[in-house]
Amino acid sequence: MIELLLADLERQYHFAGLPERRPTLWGLMAHLMSPRFLPVVLYRISHALYRRNLVAPARLFSFMNYALFGIEIAMRCEIGPGLYFPHTVGTVIGAQRIGRNAVIYHGVTIGAKEMDVRYRPDERPTVGDNVTIGSGAKVLGGIVIGSNAIVGANAVVTRTVPSGAVVGGVPARVLRHRTKRASGQPE
């Protein structure tokens, strides 16, 4: 879990304009009171406890995130390293899986199209690596958001999004495709 948190802290530094700063354990401690970083820490603890079948304590950490930061993250949802929340309030994450270096803004919902109390993976979105999901966006159903995609603010996505696509609107549609350079991929 420490490796995941160090990768998450590295993303914090990146967005703070300090990409040269290397994450350390001291840096982790210093950022524990950050409203952009502590929600990630609470999620990581919740998910780690859930994976060890310690469901009651996992729920407690998940609830702390909800009560303190207004973000609900399913403890079952696997999220790769480099997670970044510019803001958290009103965010609900119930994806099957989210890849590395995700940026998820406030007011986002990622989950099933219909009530799914049993948390069936086939009803949940899968989000690739290096994806940004804008404020107020909704990503619903058993779809895939491809790597290096951008979901625009307030978009409602109910269909699979190809890698590198920029989508927006209600319902969301592909607006353009990102270049390899813009997506951070080698050309």
Q: pLDDT for 98-135, tens place per residue?
A: 999 999 999 999 999 988 888 888 899 999 999 999 99
Average pLDDT, the chain: 93
Does residue 75 lie within any of the structural domains?
yes
Does residue 169 lie within any of the structural domains?
yes
What local confidence, expressed as pLDDT, does residue 3 receive?
92
C-alpha–C-alpha distance, residues 172 and 187, integer Å = 27
Q: pLDDT for 8-41, tens place per residue?
A: 999 999 999 999 999 999 989 999 989 999 999 9
CATH label of the domain that carries residue 149: 2.160.10.10
Query: Residues near 139 by Cβ (< 8 Å), separated by ≥ 6?
Result: 95, 108, 109, 110, 111, 125, 127, 133, 145, 151, 157
Domain count, the chain: 1
pLDDT of 161 strictly over 90: yes
Q: What is the pTM of this model?
A: 0.89
Does residue 187 lie within any of the structural domains?
no
Does residue 151 lie within any of the structural domains?
yes
